Structure 1
Amino acid sequence: MYLNRKGKVPNQAHVGIPDGLCEEEHGRDGFAGPVSHLYRTHSPTGWTKIEGSLKPQAFACFRFPISEPFLMMQSQDVSLYCLYRLDTFPYFVRNADGDEVYFIHQGTGRFETDYGILTYEPGDYVTLPRGTTYRIHVDAGPAAFLLIETTDPITVPDRGPLGQHALFDKGVLVAPELGTLDPSESPGQEWHVHIKRQGRWTKVTYPFYPMDVVGWKGDLWAAKLNVRDFRPVTSPRYHLPPSVHVTFRAGDCLISTFAPRPLETDPEALRVPFYHRNMDYDEVLFYHHGEFFSRAGIQPGMLTLHPQGIHHGPQPQAIQASNDKTHTTEVAVMVESRKPFTVTPEMEAVEITDYALSWSRR
Structure 2
Amino acid sequence: MAKNWIQFPKSEGLASRQAHADLPEGTYEREFGKEGFFGPASHIYHQNPPTGWTDWDGPLKPRAFDTQKLNGGHRGPWDADLLLHNGATKVRFWRQDKAMEALARNGDGDDLIFIHQGAGELFCDFGHMSFRDGDYIMLPRATTWRIEPSEPVQALLIEATNDSYLLPEKGLVGPHAIFDPAVMDTPAIDEMFRAQQGDGEWQVQIKARGGVSTVTYPYNPLDAVGWKGDLCPVKVNWRDIRPLMSARYHVPPSAHTTFLAGRFVVCTFCPRPFESDPGALKVPFFHSNNDYDEVLFYHAGDFFSRDNIDAGMMTLHPCGFPHGPQPGALKNAFTPKKAATDEVAVMIDTRDPLEVAAAAEATENRDYVKSWGMANRARLK
- Tell me the TM-score range normalised by the shorter chain: over 0.9
Aligned to 1:331: 344
Residue 110 of structure 1: CA displacement? Answer: 1.4
Aligned to 1:162: 173
Q: What is the TM-score with the length of structure 2 in the denominator? A: 0.92
Asked if 1:207 is matched to 2:213, the reply is no
Could you list the per-position Cα deviations for residues 233-292 of structure 1 after superposition, in whole angstroms to 9, with x for gaps in the alignment?
Answer: 100011110000001111121010100011110111111000011211111000000111
Aligned to 2:159: 149
Residue 144 of structure 1: CA displacement? Answer: 0.2
Are residues 185 and 165 of structure 1, via their aligned partners in 2, closer, same or farther at CA, if it must alter by over 3 Å?
closer
Asked if 1:14 is matched to 2:20, the reply is yes
Which of 138, 141, 145 lines up with 1:127 in the alignment? 138
For residues 186 and 77 of structure 1, the distance between their equivalents in structure 2, rounded to whole angstroms, comes to: 35
SS in 2 for 1:207: strand
Structure 1 residue ranges without an equivalent (≥5):
none
Residue 317 of structure 1: CA displacement? Answer: 2.4
Residue 181 of structure 1: CA displacement? Answer: 6.8
Matches within 5 A, 1:3-152: 3-66=9-72, 67=74, 68-139=79-150, 141-151=151-161, 152=163
Residue 182 of structure 1: CA displacement? Answer: 7.2
SS in 1 for 2:362: helix
Residue 54 of structure 1: CA displacement? Answer: 0.6
Identity score, percent: 46
Which of 287, 293, 303 lines up with 1:276 in the alignment? 287
8 Å Cα contact 2:294-2:348 kept in structure 1: yes
For residues 183 and 194 of structure 2, the distance between their equivalents in structure 1, rounded to whole angstroms, comes to: 30
Residue 325 of structure 1: CA displacement? Answer: 2.2
Runs of at least 4 residues of structure 1 off by over 6 A? 181-186
SS in 2 for 1:157: coil
Matches within 5 A, 1:257-276: 257-276=268-287
For residues 194 and 128 of structure 2, the distance between their equivalents in structure 1, rounded to whole angstroms, comes to: 15
Residue 179 of structure 1: CA displacement? Answer: 3.9
Residue 209 of structure 1: CA displacement? Answer: 1.1
Which of 343, 353, 357 lines up with 1:344 in the alignment? 357
For residues 169 and 32 of structure 2, the distance between their equivalents in structure 1, rounded to whole angstroms, comes to: 25
Residue 296 of structure 1: CA displacement? Answer: 1.8
Residue 346 of structure 1: CA displacement? Answer: 2.8
One-letter amino acid matched to 2:283: V
- RMSD of aligned Cα (Å): 1.5
8 Å Cα contact 2:70-2:359 kept in structure 1: no
For residues 334 and 51 of structure 1, the distance between their equivalents in structure 2, rounded to whole angstroms, comes to: 25
Q: What is the TM-score with the length of structure 1 in the denominator? A: 0.96
Matches within 5 A, 1:177-188: 177-179=188-190, 187-188=198-199
SS in 2 for 1:346: helix
For residues 149 and 197 of structure 1, the distance between their equivalents in structure 2, rounded to whole angstroms, comes to: 12
Which of 230, 240, 248 lines up with 1:229 in the alignment? 240
8 Å Cα contact 2:128-2:192 kept in structure 1: no
8 Å Cα contact 2:97-2:152 kept in structure 1: yes
Residue 199 of structure 1: CA displacement? Answer: 2.1
SS in 2 for 1:217: coil
Alignment coverage as a number of residue pairs: 361
Residue 222 of structure 1: CA displacement? Answer: 0.5
For residues 19 and 340 of structure 2, the distance between their equivalents in structure 1, rounded to whole angstroms, comes to: 21
8 Å Cα contact 1:26-1:277 kept in structure 2: yes
Structure 2 residue ranges without an equivalent (≥5):
1-6
SS in 1 for 2:258: strand
One-letter amino acid matched to 1:8: L
For residues 48 and 94 of structure 1, the distance between their equivalents in structure 2, rounded to whole angstroms, comes to: 48
SS in 2 for 1:228: helix
One-letter amino acid matched to 1:146: L
For residues 359 and 168 of structure 2, the distance between their equivalents in structure 1, rounded to whole angstroms, comes to: 34
One-letter amino acid matched to 2:308: G
